Structure 1
């Protein structure tokens, strides 16, 4: 066990642990200067942040207001009675098939090809039918030759009849003279008998010649009938060959192709391995929209009613239409009536099967009413001092004041830009008789710009705001 150190030794150890007063004073001075520097840096940072907030106004500090986009609106919306959806279908459409059974040896069209009425679409193997047609042609030639031979025989029989008739007349004269001389007993009886026999023989020859003529006439009739029969057989053979050539029944466009070279086709797909139709053909000049109209709206639809058609795949195209037919049957499952709307205008981009929206209109559209206007909701219009303006949200959220002038109102929308050459309407139903003028399409506002909705605040040009976009802007 060790003994503790004496008290003197412990005091010396504590003195060794004390700091030098001079060193302690130097350390205190340095820490004070560091604190001052840190304070100055903090004040500078606060000044910079305050200046940035004052001059830049970050978005989270700006006043938030609702904004809407400038969109396109068509004038037809103001005179639309109701709308319906449907699909584009051609009035003239056919699945072209063959009336004969055979293997396709040539397919001369593909999808999208335009064909004329009567144009060859496909060919089937027909060597046997071609041989039958050649045989029918030969039979026709043989029958016609037989007619010619019969006519020659008739001519020969008539010539012989002429000769025999002359001989019979001469024999009749000789007999008459012989009988007269014999009565006067100047001629032997045997000579008289010879004259009589000659006369009777000549008469019999004439009778046979006339019978030969009748026979020749009958032979001609038979030969001509054989010609007609041969020609009918030829036509039959030609029809059989024609059945192996598939032609377009009308002018149109090939929509679908169901068979290829080597496939067997048969009428109505008579066998499991055979194809039915070869192609589907449609006349794209006869396109129409079949729309399903709610039965509650049917009272406002009538044949001949104007309409406007918009296609989902081509939203920029608005075509005029006209109600062609109201199918007099209600679908019990959907409570709709099929209405067929013919296209008055055409566009090569419109294809069968496209979905479409049909607006049934209260009146015909004027020419320039088919052009879109740039619009904003009426709630975005600010009227100050008798002037109508909208507030456009520019770059950085700065407000720009845009005057509307005499631009019209279109239903629930304010027009902010008119198409070039369009005339201002004074109301939704009639054109102004005087004072109509064209307004250029150029404007401070363009499609997609944001404008303040419900500008009830005291807005000023150049003021910065934070916009809150609203949905539901698609009102084309």
Structure 2
């Protein structure tokens, strides 16, 4: 074969290759084969434990590498001033509660007394207006008769005792007692007669008017007592406010004790005793690696082979055997291009999609940040099935 023929063949081969890449742009892409590993890194649930209130650090009770459980105390802030504020709030609440009770009891007593006074004044006024009923007149007359009999008996006993005393048969004390009884019976008789006389005569107009004035006065006193109940509402509001202050102060004191919200291993101790911290400032960083995952990026032409829940093999640097994990997440959108388009060739960017493969780590062998390789399963794309 001469040199001209050889050169022609070479030129033809170049032209055919160029035409092929122009007509079929996907021929320029390098594909990831099934089973070819993807590089990723081990990740766990990482979180910071922060102070909820500002203050000075008193103690940090954990160090890097310590395992903490949910609810475990990891640090304390100085709380002396906050405890003093809490005690003051409790004292104010106790005072408010006493004031509320005393006010309520006083007002209730005033209202009850005012009602009783008004009822009595009205009854007296009505009695004076209407005059005595026949039954009352009969009762008054019977009282006079009864008092008269009692007086007659007492007077007779007094006279007999006087004679016995004169003869020396009784003591002076018995004579004096008999005389006192006679005097008392006479006074009772006079009062009964006066009451009967008043009942039979009826009330005078000025007495009726005076009784009406007492009714009006008692009614006004009752309204004033009822109006004073507003003081009870004010005292109740003050008590509620004092209770809220106690709860807020108690929360501040409680928040000086900083607890782990969940289990994990301390990866960083960020403050030392004596340092001032602001609310929200992290005290320690913790990672939970009981269950970890490997995050990797899958080329777009391999995404259709993946299904959530399917098992995938993972190898970890420093661990001899491969591990089996479960695919728990596939990104819904592309992340970035692993190969930029070649515009001269009519190609386009090759994108990747993030995935997470979850691994059990009960023995704690896997550490956050370890390099891992995820092996894609063999099989046809779902679009090819």
TM range (shorter): 0.5 to 0.7
* Contact 2:292 2:361 (C-alpha < 8 Å) held by counterparts: no
Residue 320 in structure 1 maps to residue 346 in structure 2: no
Does the 8 Å CA contact 2:291/2:361 hold for their aligned counterparts?
Answer: no
Distance 1:344 1:108, change over 3 A: closer
Judge conservation of contact 1:83–1:360 (CA < 8 Å) in 2. Answer: yes
For 2:39, the equivalent position in structure 1 comes to 85
- Partner Cα distance (1:251, 1:233) in 2: 33
Aligned to 1:154: 107
- DSSP 3-state at the match of 1:283: strand
Please list the CA deviations of residues 270-296 of structure 1 after superposition, one character each: whole Å capped at 9, or x if unmatched: xxxxxx421112222341111233344
Q: CA deviation at 1:173?
A: 2.5
Question: What is the rounded CA distance, in whole Å, between the counterparts of 1:255 and 1:264 in structure 2?
Answer: 21
Distance 1:286 1:93 in 2: 12
Q: Aligned partners of 1:338, 1:251: CA distance in 2, in Å?
A: 27
Q: CA deviation at 1:329?
A: 2.8
**Number of the residue aligned with 2:172:** none
Change (3 A) 1:130 1:329: farther
Kept after mapping to 2: 8 A contact 1:313/1:355: no
Give the match for residue 86 of structure 2. 133
Q: Is the 8 A contact 1:88 1:287 kept in 2?
A: yes
1:353 matched to 2:369? The reply is: yes
Residue among 230, 234, 244 paired with 2:256: 244
More strand by share: 1
Cα distance in structure 2, aligned partners of 1:258 and 1:225: 44
Q: Does 1:253 align with 2:265?
A: yes
Is 1:214 aligned with 2:227? yes
What is the deviation of 1:322? 1.2
After superposition, residues 325-474 of structure 1 pair within 5 angstroms as 325-327=329-331, 328-332=333-337, 336-344=352-360, 346-362=362-378
**1:194 is the counterpart of 2:207:** yes
- Hey, what does 1:115 align to over in structure 2? 68
Quote the Cα distance in structure 1 between the aligned partners of 2:239 and 2:291: 46
Q: Secondary structure at 1:250's aligned position in 2?
A: coil
Partner deviation per Cα, 1:187-220 (whole Å, 9 max, x = no partner): 57xx3212321232134213312431331x3222
Q: In structure 1, how many angstroms separate the alpha carbons of the residues matched to 2:117 and 2:80?
A: 55
Q: Distance in 2 between matches of 1:187 and 1:175?
A: 8
Residues 146-198 of structure 1 show CA distances to partners (whole Å, capped at 9, x for unaligned) of 22112211331233034213312332233313599xxxx9457xx32123212
If asked which structure has higher relative contact order (CA below 8 Å, sep 6+), I would say: 2
Using the TM superposition, give the Cα deviation of residue 80 of structure 1 relative to its aligned residue in structure 2, in angstroms: 6.2
1:263 is aligned, of 275, 286, 290, to 275
Matched, 1:282 2:302: no
The answer to whether the 8 A contact 1:175-1:196 is kept is no
Q: Write the distance in 2 (CA, Å) between the matches of 1:336 and 1:255.
A: 31
Cα distance in 2 between the residues matched to 1:213 and 1:254: 64
CA distance in 2, matches of 1:358, 1:263: 44
Pairing 1:177–2:130 present: yes
User: Residue 345 of structure 1: CA displacement?
Assistant: 6.4
Q: Distance in 1 between matches of 2:318 and 2:206?
A: 112
The answer for unaligned runs of 5 or more in structure 1 is 1-78, 269-275, 364-476
Match of 1:300 among 301, 305, 308: 305
The question of whether the paired residues in 1 share the 8 Å contact of 2:330 and 2:353 is answered with yes
Q: How many residues align?
A: 271
Asked if the contact 1:295/1:330 (under 8 Å) is kept, the reply is: no
Q: Counterpart of 1:389?
A: none
Contact 1:319/1:346 (<8 A) preserved = no
SS of equivalent to 1:230: helix
Q: State the Cα deviation string for residues 375-415 of structure 1 (Å, max 9, x = none).
A: xxxxxxxxxxxxxxxxxxxxxxxxxxxxxxxxxxxxxxxxx
Normalising by structure 2, we get a TM-score of: 0.63
Q: Name the SS of the counterpart of 2:65 in structure 1.
A: coil
Residue 291, structure 1, aligned to residue 303, structure 2: no
SS at structure 2 position matched to 1:259 = coil
Q: Which runs of 5+ in 2 are unaligned?
A: 1-32, 134-199, 340-350, 380-385
Q: Point out the more displaced range, 148-157 or 243-252.
A: 243-252
Work out the CA distance in 2 between the residues paired with 1:256 and 1:329: 33
